[in-house]
Structure 1
Amino acid sequence: MHLNISDSFNVELPADSNKENTRRKVFEAAYSFVMPKTPSNPKLIHGSKELAKELGLTCRDISSDSFLKVFSGTKIYPRTKPYAMAYAGHQFGSWAGQLGDGRAINLFEVEHNNKRWALQLKGAGETPYSRQGDGLAVLRSSIREYLCSEAMFHLGIPTTRALSLMLSGDDVLRDMLYDGNAAYEKGAIVCRVAPTFIRFGNFELFASRQDYKTLKALLDYTIKYFYPELGKPSKKTYISFFREVSNRTLDMIVHWQRVGFVHGVMNTDNMSILGLTIDYGPYGWLEDFDFGWTPNTTDRQNKRYRFGNQPHIGLWNLLQLANALYPLVEEAEPFETILEGYQNNFERKSLDIMRSKLGLESRDAEDKKLISDLEDSLSLSETDMTIFFRQLGSYKRGKPEKGLEIVEAAFYNKNDIKDKIEQQWKVWFKAYDQRLKMEKFTDHKRQLKMNLVNPKYVLRNYMAQLAIDKADEGDYGLINQLFNLLKNPYDEQTENEQWFAKRPEWARHKVGCSMLSCSS
C-alpha cells in the first residue's frame, strides 16, 4: 500500500510542546501529537472502493494487511506523525471553551490527482482533548457515520467522507440513553476523509484567548491551501474568505433542507470551514414533514437544532466565526454586510430549490405562496417528505383531481385525508396545475428533472438501525446492501423497492429509529 503523503497542518502550524497524552488545556498550539490506541483484534467490516481510488489506493490495497493495520491505528504509516486538533466552540448556544479532537486522531494528509485529503480515525483512543471521555467509539454510531457520509456524497451534498469501517475487538462502555443504564458495546473505528477538518471552533479558540498570532497563522494556512484563489493574506482577503465560508455554509444547509436531513447538533465545533457536513452524531431524516423535528434527545426540550431552524443556526454560527476573525480585520461593517446577505440569499436559494423540487423552471411572483401553501398542507397530517416529492413527479398536467391519488403512498394514515384537509389539498393541486401550465416542457421531461433533485432513497433511521442490529449479530451483509443502494439515490432501482417505504410502525418509538443521543 503506497500513499503520497503531503502533511501540512502538523508541519506549518505550531505544535503543543507537551508530548504527554494527558487531558489538559493546550495553549498557543493548533494541535497535539498523539498516538492511536492499539486495538486488540481489528477487523475490516467495509471499505469504500470509490474513495480509496480518490486517494490513490486500489481494491487490493483495501483487503491488504497494511490497510487493516494503518486504518485501525495498529501501525503508523512511515514518516507520519498523528495528531489531535485543538479547537473550542459554542454548544447549544453556550460557550464551552476548549474542546478539541476528543476521539479523533488525524493520521496524515495525502495528495492525489491534484487534490489534498486529510485522513483521521474516529474512535482510536484518548487525546489531550478527551476531557472525561475514553476517545473510543461504538459500532452503532460508527455504522451510522460510515453509511451516511458516503450516502450524502452521492446525494450531491457537501460532506466529509468515510474510507473504512472496522471493529476494534474491544468492548466500550456507554450509557446510550443517559439514563444510568450503561452497558458494554462493540468498539469500532471509522476512517474519515476530507480536504481538511478545520472547524469554526478552531478559530474561536485562539480568538477567545486573544492569541492573535496563532489565529492569523491558522487563517493564513487555511487560505493558502483551501482558498488560494483569494490571494495573499490581507484584511481584504480575510473578508473575502468569510464571504466564501458564508456562501458554502448556506449552500450546504439549503441542500440539507432539500432532502430533509437534520444534523441534530450544529454546534460551532461541528461546522466545517469548507462548508462540509461534518460529525455525524444524532442526525436524522424527516420521516414526516415537520419543521419542528429534531433527532437529538439532548435537544428535545428547546429544539434549537430542529429542521426548520437549521438555516438560522447557520447564520448564528457564522456570527460567532465573524467575531473570531474580527481582531484580524478590526472592521465590523464588512462582516455585517455578509451576514445580512446570508439571510437574503437563503430566501432566494431556498425558493429556487423548492421550485426545482416542484418541477418549475421559470419564476413566478406567486411561487412563494404556492410553496407556503404546500408546506401548510404537508403539516396537516403525517406525510412522508421523501415519498411525497418523489411521487409528485408522476403528476400529469390537467388532472388536479388525480393529485391526491398520486401522492397517497406518502400519507401515514390515509383516513386523515378527509373533510377540511382533503379540501385544502384539492385547492393546492388546482393551483399547482395552473402553475405547471406556465411551463413549456413535457410532463415526462419535468419528471426526469424532478427525479434529479428528489431522491428516492435516503438513509432512514430505521434502515440504519436494521443494519446495526444485524452487525451486532456478526452479519454485515445489510451494511453492504445499503451502502450500494445509497450510491444511486436518484435512480429507480426497482429491485430495491422495499426501501422506498414509510417508516414501519414498529420503528416509531424504537431506540435508534426516532431520536438519538450523542452517545457514541
Structure 2
Amino acid sequence: MRLNLHDRFNKQLTADPVQTLSRRQVSGAAFSFVTPRVPSNPRLLHVANDVAEMLGLSAEDRDSDEFRDVFSGGKVMPGTRPYAMCYGGHQFGSWAGQLGDGRAINLAEVEHAGKHWTLQLKGAGETPYSRTADGLAVLRSSVREHLCSEAMHHLGVPTTRSLCLLTTGDQVLRDIMYDGHPEMETGAVICRVAPSFIRFGNFEIFASRHDLKMLRELTDYTIRHYYPEIETGTQSGYGDFFHEVCQRTLRMMVHWQRVGFVHGVMNTDNMSIHGDTIDYGPYGWLEGYDPNWTPNTTDRMHHRYAFGNQPQIALWNLVQLANALYPLVGEASPFESALQQYQHDFNREFTRMQAEKIGLTEVIAGDEELLDQLDAVLQITETDMTIFFRLLGNVKKSEDASSDSEFLATIRDAFYAQQPLGDEVTEQWRDWFSKYLQRLNASDEPDATRRERMNRVNPKYVLRNYMAQTAIDAAEQGDTSLIGELYELLRAPYDEQPEHERWFAKRPEWARHKVGCSMLSCSS
C-alpha cells in the first residue's frame, strides 16, 4: 500500500515516557504511544473513494488485504508509531480535567499533492485515556460518523473526513440510552482524516496544569505547521493565531446554521483548532424548525447545545481557549479584540447567509426585520427547515399573497401538519409572503436565476437521522447497499437527483420517537 508517510506530531512534540497501557493521568506530554487492538475478523463495508484518492491511495490499494488490515487496526504500517493525544475539556460548561483520545488512535501522517493529512482510527481499542471504557466503537455510531463526515464535506461545511468503515468481527457491550439495559452490538471502526486532530482541549490541559513549557511547545508547533503565515514564538503571533481560530470557527458556525446542522455536544474537547466539524456523536438536522431543539438526550433538560445556541456556545468555547493561551501573552487585549471581532463578524455573516437563503443578493434596510419575521413564522407550525428553503426557491414574483391561501401551495409540503393551518396562522404567513414578494419585485432578476442561486445554498438532501438509522438497521442484517446509496446521494446534496426523490421528504411519523431517529445519546 503506497502512502507517503510524514509523521510530525509524534516526532516533534514531547511523548509520554510511560509505555504501558494503564489508565492514568499523563503529565508533561502531548501524547502517548499505543498499539491498536487487533480485530478478530475485520470486514470492509465502505470506502470513500475521493478521500482515498486525496491520500494517494489507488484502487488497487483499496482492494488489498493490507488496506483492510491497516485501517481496522490489525496491522501497524512499517515506520510508523501510532499514538493517542492528551487533552482536557469543558463538558456542558464544567471543567472535566484530562479526557484525551479514549477510543481514537492516530495511525500516521501522510503527504500527497502538496497537502498534509493525519489518519486516525476511531474504535480501535484502549489507550491511557480510556478511563473505565473499552476504547471500542459500534456499527451504528460508525455508520453515522462515516456518512455524516462525507455529507458535511459535500454540503460545503468545514469538516473532518472519513476514509472507510469496517466491522471488526467482535461484539461490544453498550447501553445506548444509559438506562441500565446494555446489549451486545456489532463492533466497528472508521478511519478519520484531517490536517490534524488538535482541539481546544489540547491547550486547555496544559494551561490547567500551569505547564507553560508544553503549552508553548504545542502552540508553536500548531502555528508553524498549520498557520505558517503567522510569526512563531511571539506574543503578537499568539494573538494573531487566536484571531484566526476565531474566524475559522465563525465560518463553521455560519455553515452549520445555514444547513440546519446540530452538533449536539459542543464541548471544548470537540472543537477543532482548524475550524473543522469534529466528533460526530448525537448530531442531527432540524426537521421541524425549532431553534431550541437538540438531538442529545444528555442535554434534553437544559438545551445548552440546541441549534439556536450554537454560535454563542462557540464563542463561549473560544473564551476558554483564550484563557488557555493567555499565559503565553500575559495581557487580555488581543483576546478581547478577537472575541469582539467574532461577534461583530458573525452577526454580519449570519445575516448575509440568511438573506442568501431567501434569494436576496444584498441586505438593505428592512431586510433584517423580514428575516426575523420569517424566523418567527417558521415556528408557529411544525415546518421542515430543509424542505421549506428548497421549495421557497420555486416562488414566483407574480404570485399574489392577498387573494387566497393558495400562496402557500409552493411551500405547503414543508408543513408536518396535514390539516388546514387555521385562519390566524395563515394570516401570519400571508403577511410575511406579502412583504417577501414585495422585496423580490424590487429586483429585475428573473425567477429562474434567483432559484438557481438559492439552490446552491439550500440543500435538497441532508442526512436525516431516520435515513442513517435505516442504513444502520439494514447493515446490522448484513445489507450494506443503503450505506452506499446514501453516500452517493449525499455527494451531490444540491442537485435535483430525481432518481432519489424519495429522500426529499419529511421525517416519517414512525421515526418521530424511535431511538436513533430523533434523540440520541453521546454513545451514538
TM-score normalised by the chain length of structure 2: 0.98
Cα deviation for residue 414 of structure 1 reads 3.8
CA contact (8 A) 1:102 1:126 kept: yes
Tell me if 1:426 matches 2:430: yes
Alignment of 1:150-165 (within 5 A): 150-165=150-165
Cα deviation for residue 416 of structure 1 reads 4.8
Tell me if 1:403 matches 2:413: no
Rounded to whole Å, the distance in 2 between the matches of 1:363 and 1:36 is 53
CA contact (8 A) 2:296 2:521 kept: yes
**AA partner of residue 49 (structure 2):** K
Where in structure 2 are there 5+ consecutive unaligned residues?
none
Aligned structure 1 segments of 4 or more residues deviating by more than 2 angstroms: 400-403
- Which residue of the partner structure matches residue 13 of structure 1? 13
Tell me if 1:453 matches 2:453: no
SS in structure 2 at match of 1:44: strand
Rounded to whole Å, the distance in 1 between the matches of 2:362 and 2:152 is 28
- Which residue of the partner structure matches residue 329 of structure 1? 329
**AA partner of residue 363 (structure 2):** R
Rounded to whole Å, the distance in 2 between the matches of 1:245 and 1:232 is 15
SS in structure 1 at match of 2:475: helix
Rounded to whole Å, the distance in 2 between the matches of 1:416 and 1:336 is 51
Tell me if 1:135 matches 2:135: yes
Cα deviation for residue 340 of structure 1 reads 1.4
Where in structure 1 are there 5+ consecutive unaligned residues?
none
Rounded to whole Å, the distance in 2 between the matches of 1:128 and 1:423 is 61
Rounded to whole Å, the distance in 2 between the matches of 1:175 and 1:519 is 8
- Write the deviation string for residues 226-245 of structure 1: whole angstroms up to 9, x where unpaired: 00011332111111110100
Rounded to whole Å, the distance in 2 between the matches of 1:403 and 1:324 is 53
SS in structure 1 at match of 2:96: strand
CA contact (8 A) 2:352 2:362 kept: no
- Write the deviation string for residues 71-105 of structure 1: whole angstroms up to 9, x where unpaired: 01111011000000000000000000000000000
**AA partner of residue 34 (structure 2):** V
Aligned length in residues: 520
- Write the deviation string for residues 281-323 of structure 1: whole angstroms up to 9, x where unpaired: 0000100100000000000001000000000000000000000
Tell me if 1:465 matches 2:463: no
Alignment of 1:294-373 (within 5 A): 294-373=294-373
- Write the deviation string for residues 387-424 of structure 1: whole angstroms up to 9, x where unpaired: 00000000100314353110000000142522111000
Rounded to whole Å, the distance in 1 between the matches of 2:513 and 2:75 is 42
Rounded to whole Å, the distance in 2 between the matches of 1:213 and 1:385 is 48
Rounded to whole Å, the distance in 2 between the matches of 1:470 and 1:367 is 46
- Which residue of the partner structure matches residue 39 of structure 1? 39
CA contact (8 A) 1:238 1:329 kept: yes
**AA partner of residue 284 (structure 2):** G
- Which residue of the partner structure matches residue 485 of structure 2? 481
Rounded to whole Å, the distance in 2 between the matches of 1:92 and 1:403 is 44
Rounded to whole Å, the distance in 2 between the matches of 1:364 and 1:352 is 10
Rounded to whole Å, the distance in 1 between the matches of 2:381 and 2:15 is 55
The answer to which of 362-371 and 209-218 deviates more is 362-371
Rounded to whole Å, the distance in 2 between the matches of 1:136 and 1:143 is 14
Cα deviation for residue 430 of structure 1 reads 0.6
**AA partner of residue 168 (structure 2):** S
**AA partner of residue 205 (structure 1):** I
CA contact (8 A) 1:15 1:29 kept: yes
Alignment of 1:115-514 (within 5 A): 115-401=115-401, 402-514=406-518
Rounded to whole Å, the distance in 1 between the matches of 2:294 and 2:138 is 22
SS in structure 1 at match of 2:338: helix
Rounded to whole Å, the distance in 1 between the matches of 2:358 and 2:255 is 15
TM-score normalised by the chain length of structure 1: 0.99
- Write the deviation string for residues 102-121 of structure 1: whole angstroms up to 9, x where unpaired: 00000000000110000000
**AA partner of residue 446 (structure 1):** R
CA contact (8 A) 1:119 1:192 kept: yes
Rounded to whole Å, the distance in 2 between the matches of 1:53 and 1:439 is 44
- Write the deviation string for residues 430-463 of structure 1: whole angstroms up to 9, x where unpaired: 1001111222321100000000000000000000
Rounded to whole Å, the distance in 2 between the matches of 1:470 and 1:293 is 28
SS in structure 1 at match of 2:419: helix
CA contact (8 A) 2:162 2:192 kept: yes
**AA partner of residue 428 (structure 2):** Q
- Which residue of the partner structure matches residue 83 of structure 2? 83
Tell me if 1:109 matches 2:109: yes
SS in structure 2 at match of 1:351: helix
**AA partner of residue 250 (structure 1):** L
**AA partner of residue 249 (structure 1):** T
Rounded to whole Å, the distance in 2 between the matches of 1:12 and 1:416 is 65
CA contact (8 A) 1:142 1:189 kept: yes
Rounded to whole Å, the distance in 2 between the matches of 1:2 and 1:359 is 47
Change (3 A) 1:416 1:84: farther
**AA partner of residue 377 (structure 1):** V
**AA partner of residue 200 (structure 2):** F
Rounded to whole Å, the distance in 2 between the matches of 1:400 and 1:2 is 62
CA contact (8 A) 1:461 1:514 kept: yes
Rounded to whole Å, the distance in 1 between the matches of 2:477 and 2:38 is 24
SS in structure 1 at match of 2:412: helix
Tell me if 1:23 matches 2:27: no
SS in structure 2 at match of 1:95: strand
Cα deviation for residue 157 of structure 1 reads 0.2
CA contact (8 A) 2:232 2:238 kept: no
Cα deviation for residue 61 of structure 1 reads 1.2
SS in structure 2 at match of 1:370: helix
Rounded to whole Å, the distance in 2 between the matches of 1:322 and 1:332 is 9
Cα deviation for residue 344 of structure 1 reads 1.4
SS in structure 2 at match of 1:491: coil
Cα deviation for residue 380 of structure 1 reads 0.2
Rounded to whole Å, the distance in 1 between the matches of 2:45 and 2:190 is 10
The answer to which of 79-88 and 354-363 deviates more is 354-363
Change (3 A) 1:400 1:238: farther
Rounded to whole Å, the distance in 2 between the matches of 1:475 and 1:485 is 17
Rounded to whole Å, the distance in 1 between the matches of 2:400 and 2:5 is 59
CA contact (8 A) 1:291 1:307 kept: yes
Change (3 A) 1:294 1:342: same
- Write the deviation string for residues 3-50 of structure 1: whole angstroms up to 9, x where unpaired: 000000000000000000110000000000000000000000000110
Q: Of the candidates 512, 519, 524, which is equivalent to residue 515 of structure 1?
A: 519
SS in structure 1 at match of 2:377: helix
CA contact (8 A) 2:80 2:108 kept: yes
State the identity as a percent. 62
Rounded to whole Å, the distance in 2 between the matches of 1:259 and 1:197 is 24
CA contact (8 A) 1:362 1:439 kept: no
Rounded to whole Å, the distance in 1 between the matches of 2:407 and 2:261 is 26
Rounded to whole Å, the distance in 1 between the matches of 2:352 and 2:421 is 29
Rounded to whole Å, the distance in 2 between the matches of 1:307 and 1:449 is 25
- Write the deviation string for residues 158-190 of structure 1: whole angstroms up to 9, x where unpaired: 000000000000000000010100000000000
